[in-house]
Amino acid sequence: MIAAEGNRLRHVANGQVKTDPSMPLPRRLSNLFEALGEVIRTERPDTAAAEEVLGNTNPQSTLKLGQARGVVLLAASTAGLTVGEYHPSVVKKAVVGTGGAEKRQIQAMVGHLLPGVKLAGPDAADALAVAITHAHHLASAHARARRVAGVGA
């Protein structure tokens, strides 16, 4: 989670929701939904963002990731949040400058854009990168709207 004030970004929080792999998938998805709901109630974000799922070599992993993503979208939507959705290459380009960036490059740029951030795990940088992308897209949309409305210079 980040805060965006104009072009300034500030790290608010990051973490991981871990579930027990030995539990049945429906229970794990339910735990994910409950944990995200608690984060949303506690942190009270204005909006949310999610990365689109790409297929990979393991169809079962892709399916499970898609189900978890669905839970994320449901938790945000249930809380009344609008959700921006971004292709991984859009996230990489927004944060690193190239759509083919590697994970370590994303982690480095997230650290640069959010000084002092301590990542909760390997996926935390990806999640923060999605949040950064969303903040940039929202700022651009607001700037375009002001220009169209004739507000500002």
Catalytic residues: 51, 123
CA 130, CA 91: separation in Å to the nearest integer?
A: 6
Residue list for the binding site: 51, 123
Residue list for the binding site for Mg(2+): 51, 123
Residue of 97, 102, 99 lying closest to 122 (CA atoms)? 102
Cβ pair 106, 96 in contact under 8 A:
yes
CA 91, CA 126: separation in Å to the nearest integer?
A: 9
CA 44, CA 40: separation in Å to the nearest integer?
A: 5
CA 144, CA 43: separation in Å to the nearest integer?
A: 28
